[in-house]
Amino acid sequence: MNFVDLRPYLYQFLGDVQFHSEAIVDGHIHDGWYIESNHPKYPKTILQKINTHVFPDPAGLIENIHHITHYLRQNNPSQKQLELVQTISGQSSYTAPDGSVWRMYEWIENGYTTQISRNLKQVREAGFITGEFLRLLKNYPVHSLKIPIADFHNTPKRYQDFLQSLTIADPALLAEIRSEIDFLRKRANKFSLIWDALKEERIPWRVTHNDTKLDNILFDQDTHQAICLIDLDTIMPGSALFDFGDALRAMGNPVAEDESDLTKVEFQLPVFKAYTQGYLSAAGEILTLQEKSWLAFSPWLITIEIGIRFLTDYLQNNHYFRIHYPEQNLNRCRAQFKLATDMENRFSEMEDIVKQYQ
């Protein structure tokens, strides 16, 4: 991240303060900084510059977060939640003269995040807090939410976008991904299952987080219990299966998302079992029978979908996901497809686990 003079933006939230900043380097989308200052109320905060290429309606994005976190605090006052710091003029974000949009979050004390689970108890906690998020928002007016990214988990649309990208891609890249193209074509008849059920209302629309990987869950340093979900940018109407599937896609893989040695990529059934146990203990009573019947299927579908997105971004010059080297999105894609293949081999065991806890 290049040097940015943060003083003009910090001033809008904290006034004229002395501060120390540290860049956040592990985010895919936004530029962000940890801030320590001498502000009497907000000595520790997080400042972010919103990526308006990815999120073209930052006002709607902020509105979703403001209303959802307020609703969650009302329904469970004892649970900490992310809270936006208001600007000096009382707004939830700041638009600079150059058009850039900035926001600030309060720091939640004693919290930590991790990309790799420490143990199965932590995985169970992750499942519980994600299921609790769904349960607490079961009566929220879901269609009042703004849609920050259209068709976010519309898997058939993602696949059609990928096919379209093939028509204009560099021939050398097409030759490089021939096996990935074949992999997808053999499985394409299953891609629309959940999305069609949502459109036809055979399963309910719910408030979904849509990015439930482990490092979007805040844990307590002392108890290691889950505190809350963070990174709420992709909250929108969706299916409970999106969040369940995406969590297991991310947590079920024991290695880095861009691992190039595919022999190390495998789906961990103990993780699936622990997460499912925690999730259903919180949300099991509100899920429909149809939703429960697709819980084992959903990680496979979302894993394929994310792989499609990585591959499409690779073909389109990597404009969505932040990369640190040119082939990173291709490596990410291949790891997802290997993980999905492993799920196919373990599907009956995954179904048995769901039946055990539902």
pTM of the model: 0.91
pLDDT in the model for residue 237 = 97
Q: Which two tokens stand for residue 56?
A: 């073209």
Give the number of C-alpha atoms closer than 13 A to the C-alpha of residue 280, restricted to the C-beta side: 19
CA distance 343 to 358: 20
**What pLDDT is stored for residue 321 in this prediction?**
84
d(CA 298, CA 241): 6
In the block, residue with structure tokens 């497809």? 337
Asked if 92 and 70 count as a contact pair (C-beta separation under 8 A), the reply is no
Residues of the chain with CATH 3.30.200.20: 7-107
Give the architecture (CATH level 2) of 7-107.
2-Layer Sandwich (3.30)
Residues of each domain in the chain carrying CATH 3.90.1200.10: 120-357
Burial class for 95, CB neighbours closer than 10 Å (0-12, 13-18, 19+): middle
pLDDT recorded at residue 27: 67
**CATH of the structural domain 120-357, one choice from 3.40.50.10800, 3.40.50.11810, 3.90.1200.10, 3.40.50.300:** 3.90.1200.10
**Which structure tokens are listed for 217?**
């869950």
Q: Which residue ranges in the chain fall short of pLDDT 50?
A: none
Task: Kindly give the pairing relationship between strand 19-24 and strand 226-229.
Answer: unpaired
Of the candidates 237, 255, 149, the residue with the CA atom closest to the CA atom of residue 195: 237
Q: What is the largest CA-CA distance in the chain?
A: 60
Residue in 247, 287, 293 with CA at minimum distance from that of residue 271? 247
Beta carbons of 53 and 31 less than 8 angstroms apart: no
